[in-house]
Chains A and B, each alone.
Chain A
Amino acid sequence: MTTAAAPLLDVTGVTMRFGGLTAVNDVSLTVGEGEIIGLIGPNGAGKTTFFNCLTGLYVPTEGSVRYRGTLLPPKPHLVTQAGIARTFQNIRLFANMTVLENVLVGRHTRTREGVFSAILRGPGYHRAEREGREKAMELLAFTGLAEKADHLARNLPYGEQRKLEIARALASEPGLLLLDEPTAGMNPQETRAAEELVFAIRDKGVSILVIEHDMRFIFNLCDRTAVLVQGEKIVEGDRETVQTDERVITAYLGAPLEGTTPAVTETDQ
């Protein structure tokens, strides 16, 4: 896998502080066209905070995030418009809308019909609406939810809600998809199906940055994996590099008894 000359996403030195707490400290990361990049780390390592910095939910205290060479604006909807879509760790569907409507909402930035167009209902409106529905149904077929288009999102089983979140994110026609723990709470079969889905999305030409706890999932999927521990990126590389790294093992399995957590924080500061 070769990284394109100008990476799709270029994160340099992002630091996020909440008062005295440094949640993310000087993290740099690049994602190239067609890459699947993994982000792992123990609970509380700052993975989701890092995601929120990328998607405009938080404005990083320091550092910059560039997408296709341009600085990302610090507003979630502008980030999505620029071409980065995301899913959430705890599913955040529009529970009382139908499956189809959820995906149609995802297409919001790619359509332009306003209030007057909606009231007057000219030919342009009908065309846009029809196209939107067709594209949404395509995505539902892609994720295997086409038959449930008219169900309420809240009534879908858990695994399908995850899929719907992905379909909804894809509806904004992103160049980069950020997945926050897409297999949380899934059984092994569902996880494997999710793997296939991620590959299929990559094959559509969408790069992916994925947070996960499931190591097998990450190492099966990702071209590169970055490890975040206590807000800092300690290592980045392929499966071998990450799995054999001392610090990663320490972070996940714990250090020998003497040098426990307080000692580590002291050295950190």
Chain B
Amino acid sequence: MTTTETAPVIPLPARAATTLTGLGALATAASAALPWTWTSDFPGDLTYTGAPAGLQWLAIAAGVLTLVLLLATQGTPGLRWAAPTRSNNAVLLAATGALAVAAYSVTAITVELGGLANLEPGGWILAGGGLLTVLGALGLPLDRRTAVPVRILDKRLFLLLPAAPLGWYGAHAIPDDQPVAPVMTALSGALAIAAGAVLLLQLGHLANSWLRLGKADRPLPPPRRLPSWVEVLVIIAAFGAGLYAITFGIDTEYGELFTGYLLLAALVAAALTRSGLITRLRTLTVQHRPVTTGAAFAAAASFPFTQSSDQYTSVATNILIFATVALGLNIVVGLAGLLDLGYVAFLGVGAYAAALVSGSPASPIHVQFPFWAAMLTGAAVSMVFGVLIGAPTLRLRGDYLAIVTLGFGEIFRITMLNLNGTTGPKVTNGSNGIPRIPDLEILGFDLGKPHTVAGIELGRFSNYYLLMLLVTALVVLVFARVGNSRIGRAWVAIREDETAAEAMGINGFRLKLLAFALGACLAGLAGTVQAHVSYTVTPDQYTFADALPPNSAFLLAAVILGGMGTISGPLVGATLLFLIPKKLEFLSDYQLLAFGAALIVLMRVRPEGLIPNRRRQLEFHEAATPAPPTGEPTALTKAGA
């Protein structure tokens, strides 16, 4: 058991620390009013006085949030709600957010424009402000563990440090025309990355034992009773803010801004969690569940109305498709515990089924089903495939199932490639796919044409976004209701212990098949919309792994990263997994590397996922959570009395 104390890291007088943090936060926010650099070459044009843009907005947000949290923990009347736990660690996290934005912006400007000379006074103020904020926050009384032993990595690992430059030298000493040159380059690259990782890890350990930041048990004071309508307003405001934050992320126009946004968002989320605000909000949402559901749906539905063009609604539509399929996979993986590595094939089955009956001139079946019939067809065909694949394989347990589903995913793709008229019957046009899928028309409403609603023009993707949102809502409803029922409990029981579940009268095979079929059906449903959104279905949209989602590997990652068995988990996970590769295209060759590294770090820090299921959180952090009180006088059993 670790014990915690409340003490500053840097011994500063309390007043000085507070003032320093406050001034730093102010400076960070204020620097946005000044130009950070002299040239508009840096994306976003940060050269204006009094007109913040791009990264400067992030600096303002970070500075203001730090200031609010600081005032809240100091007990300023009127702001206390912002930090119910009064934890200064929240301030430190927000301050770190400010520093992260500052450091990232300054570095990006320096590197991209070539030198510190490109910084204008605003940039220097930003850097100084960020540093001051964190220094000040480190002087606040923080929750810290009393003792963290210094961990030194295995000494042999440090041999990599001299090996990296040697490898680099070696790679350059060999002329490029030598056949071993590429091998040596790859080798020295790997050495350099490994050496960097070792250094970072060791620095992390050192910083950890110096900072000793911990989590003290800070009981939340009971919330002030607010009138019901105020609580409802708070929920609506929270979802409004959430919508704004997510819209900002989706609308980021260049990778630099998105990286800064991601850094800040992660640290702000951590800060708000530590301040207790998230817990408060969660309590409220539990009390007003219908309002919460309605607000979440309304916030999501109002996204297209915040957009002036179709540029980002197309991204949002694809996020929704990806997230919906991830939620369907969550039934199979998160509830029933069946590892499905070929899940994207069911999306493909639904998409192909819808494309074949869409009336596309390239489809060999010359019929055009109305929308509802096409949707039912896609879902039904997908479900049939789910049963066909599941029936023989679900008698297998664990690893074997994973291998079989992996095989199925590939078989689907290759079959679609081969049904091209030469290597098989002419159904799918092989690698050309089925193009020119007409736009949907629902009750005379053409989704392919822009419509004006309430003075705002909704383009094609906006229409599909709203349609897809309905599908997502349906899938959420199915997941929530089935998951919390006799069937859902049986699934979880099978996941936990199949033998015991069968001994409780659960027909394991049938229920696993049901999970498989329902999951397939929901993916197929999403697939029918996807076919119309993307005009074309081709086999290579449905691979096992690719740099861009949706593919089976990313779907699984979205479920696990977001949080297995939850609703919001896969939605958040899918959003991140879609946006990160999309926005980080500027990293080009290193994109997947950075992405993989980020995944490893995330799973190391939060194995239970971003939004953990209550159960799984207990599972992974049992040591950290106090066990429920068992010391209470054991009630004499009725039988024992």
Tell whether A111 is near chain B: CB-to-CB under 8 Å: yes
Residues on B with C-beta less than 8 A from A94 are 492-493, 496-497, 500-501
Tell whether A43 is near chain B: CB-to-CB under 8 Å: no
B629-641 CB mask vs A (1 if < 8 Å, else 0) is: 0101011111110
Give the top 3 A-B pairs by smallest Cβ distance, nearest first: A144-B637, A109-B505, A80-B505
7 residue pairs of the A-B complex, CB under 8 angstroms, read: A57-B499, A77-B505, A92-B500, A93-B497, A119-B481, A142-B638, A200-B638
Structural contact, A108 and B506, CB atoms closer than 8 A: yes
Structural contact, A196 and B640, CB atoms closer than 8 A: yes
Tell whether B478 is near chain A: CB-to-CB under 8 Å: yes
Q: How far is the CA of A172 from the CA of B502 in the complex (A)?
A: 12
- Name the CB-closest residue of B to A157: B630
Tell whether B618 is near chain A: CB-to-CB under 8 Å: yes
Tell whether A114 is near chain B: CB-to-CB under 8 Å: yes
- For B493, B500, B639, which residue has the most chain A Cβ atoms within 10 angstroms? B639
A180-205 CB mask vs B (1 if < 8 Å, else 0) is: 00000000000011001101110000
Residues on A with C-beta less than 8 A from B477 are 119
Tell whether A106 is near chain B: CB-to-CB under 8 Å: yes
Structural contact, B490 and A108, CB atoms closer than 8 A: yes
Structural contact, B637 and A77, CB atoms closer than 8 A: no
Structural contact, B636 and A172, CB atoms closer than 8 A: no
- Name the CB-closest residue of A to B514: A115
B603-641 CB mask vs A (1 if < 8 Å, else 0) is: 000000000000110110000000110101011111110
Tell whether A163 is near chain B: CB-to-CB under 8 Å: yes
**A→B interface (CB under 8 Å):** 55, 57, 75-77, 80-81, 85-86, 88, 92-97, 101, 104-106, 108-109, 111, 113-115, 117-119, 121, 125, 128-129, 132, 141-144, 146-148, 151-152, 154-157, 163, 168-169, 171-172, 192-193, 196-197, 199-201
Tell whether B489 is near chain A: CB-to-CB under 8 Å: yes
Classify the secondary structure of B's interface with A. Answer: helix
B503 touches which one: A86, A119, A147, A193 (CB < 8 A)? A86
Structural contact, B492 and A144, CB atoms closer than 8 A: no
Structural contact, B618 and A96, CB atoms closer than 8 A: yes
> Closest Cβ of chain A: how far from B407's Cβ, in Å?
27
- For B477, B490, B493, which residue has the most chain A Cβ atoms within 10 angstroms? B493
Known: A86-B503, A95-B496. A144 touches B482 (CB 8 A): no
Tell whether B178 is near chain A: CB-to-CB under 8 Å: no
B482 touches which one: A119, A148, A169 (CB < 8 A)? A119
Q: How far is the CA of A148 from the CA of B489 in the complex (A)?
A: 18
Q: How far is the CA of A143 from the CA of B508 in the complex (A)?
A: 27
Structural contact, A105 and B638, CB atoms closer than 8 A: no
Structural contact, A96 and B506, CB atoms closer than 8 A: no
B638 touches which one: A77, A104, A144, A192 (CB < 8 A)? A144
Q: How far is the CA of A153 from the CA of B636 in the complex (A)?
A: 19
> Closest Cβ of chain B: how far from A222's Cβ, in Å?
17
A111 touches which one: B486, B500, B635, B640 (CB < 8 A)? B486
Residues on B with C-beta less than 8 A from A169 are 504
Structural contact, A77 and B490, CB atoms closer than 8 A: no
Residues on A with C-beta less than 8 A from B493 are 94, 97, 105, 108
Structural contact, A92 and B639, CB atoms closer than 8 A: no
Q: How far is the CA of A121 from the CA of B627 in the complex (A)?
A: 35
Known: A97-B496, A108-B490. A168 touches B504 (CB 8 A): yes
Structural contact, A197 and B637, CB atoms closer than 8 A: yes
Structural contact, A193 and B628, CB atoms closer than 8 A: no
Residues on A with C-beta less than 8 A from B627 are 155
Known: A155-B627, A196-B639. A96 touches B482 (CB 8 A): no
- With A108-B490, A144-B635 given, can you name 15 additional A-B contacts, CB distance below 8 Å? A77-B504, A80-B502, A97-B493, A101-B489, A108-B489, A113-B485, A119-B477, A129-B485, A147-B632, A155-B627, A155-B630, A196-B639, A196-B640, A197-B639, A200-B639
Tell whether B488 is near chain A: CB-to-CB under 8 Å: yes
Q: How far is the CA of A190 from the CA of B190 in the complex (A)?
A: 60
Residues on A with C-beta less than 8 A from B376 are none
Residues on A with C-beta less than 8 A from B619 are 96, 154
Tell whether B518 is near chain A: CB-to-CB under 8 Å: yes
Q: How far is the CA of A172 from the CA of B505 in the complex (A)?
A: 8
Structural contact, A193 and B638, CB atoms closer than 8 A: no
Residues on A with C-beta less than 8 A from B76 are none
> Closest Cβ of chain A: how far from B640's Cβ, in Å?
4
Tell whether B308 is near chain A: CB-to-CB under 8 Å: no
Structural contact, B505 and A81, CB atoms closer than 8 A: yes
Structural contact, A88 and B500, CB atoms closer than 8 A: yes
Q: How far is the CA of A88 from the CA of B504 in the complex (A)?
A: 11
Structural contact, B501 and A105, CB atoms closer than 8 A: yes
Structural contact, B482 and A118, CB atoms closer than 8 A: yes
- Name the CB-closest residue of B to A76: B502
Structural contact, A77 and B506, CB atoms closer than 8 A: yes
Known: A96-B616, A119-B482. A77 touches B635 (CB 8 A): no
Tell whether B306 is near chain A: CB-to-CB under 8 Å: no
Residues on B with C-beta less than 8 A from A92 are 497, 499-500, 503
Known: A92-B499, A114-B487, A119-B481. A151 touches B628 (CB 8 A): yes
Structural contact, A141 and B638, CB atoms closer than 8 A: yes
> Closest Cβ of chain A: how far from B641's Cβ, in Å?
8
Tell whether B507 is near chain A: CB-to-CB under 8 Å: yes
Structural contact, B482 and A77, CB atoms closer than 8 A: no
Q: How far is the CA of A93 from the CA of B500 in the complex (A)?
A: 7
> Closest Cβ of chain B: how far from A208's Cβ, in Å?
13
Q: How far is the CA of A144 from the CA of B628 in the complex (A)?
A: 17
Residues on B with C-beta less than 8 A from A146 are 635
Structural contact, B638 and A172, CB atoms closer than 8 A: no
Q: How far is the CA of A156 from the CA of B58 in the complex (A)?
A: 47
- Name the CB-closest residue of B to A107: B486
A163 touches which one: B478, B508, B636, B637 (CB < 8 A)? B637
Residues on A with C-beta less than 8 A from B490 are 105, 108
Q: How far is the CA of A114 from the CA of B630 in the complex (A)?
A: 37
Residues on B with C-beta less than 8 A from A193 are 637, 639-640
Q: How far is the CA of A155 from the CA of B625 in the complex (A)?
A: 11
Q: How far is the CA of A104 from the CA of B486 in the complex (A)?
A: 8
Structural contact, A80 and B637, CB atoms closer than 8 A: no
- Name the CB-closest residue of B to A148: B628
> Closest Cβ of chain A: how far from B623's Cβ, in Å?
13
> Closest Cβ of chain A: how far from B422's Cβ, in Å?
42
Residues on B with C-beta less than 8 A from A147 are 632, 635
Q: How far is the CA of A93 from the CA of B499 in the complex (A)?
A: 10
Residues on B with C-beta less than 8 A from A156 are 630
Known: A80-B503, A172-B505. A97 touches B639 (CB 8 A): no
Residues on B with C-beta less than 8 A from A154 are 618-619
Q: How far is the CA of A193 from the CA of B640 in the complex (A)?
A: 5
Q: How far is the CA of A13 from the CA of B566 in the complex (A)?
A: 50
Q: Report B455-493 residues with CB < 8 Å from chain A CB.
A: 477-478, 481-482, 485-490, 492-493
Residues on B with C-beta less than 8 A from A143 are 637-639
Structural contact, A108 and B505, CB atoms closer than 8 A: yes
Known: A147-B635, A151-B628, A197-B640. A115 touches B518 (CB 8 A): yes
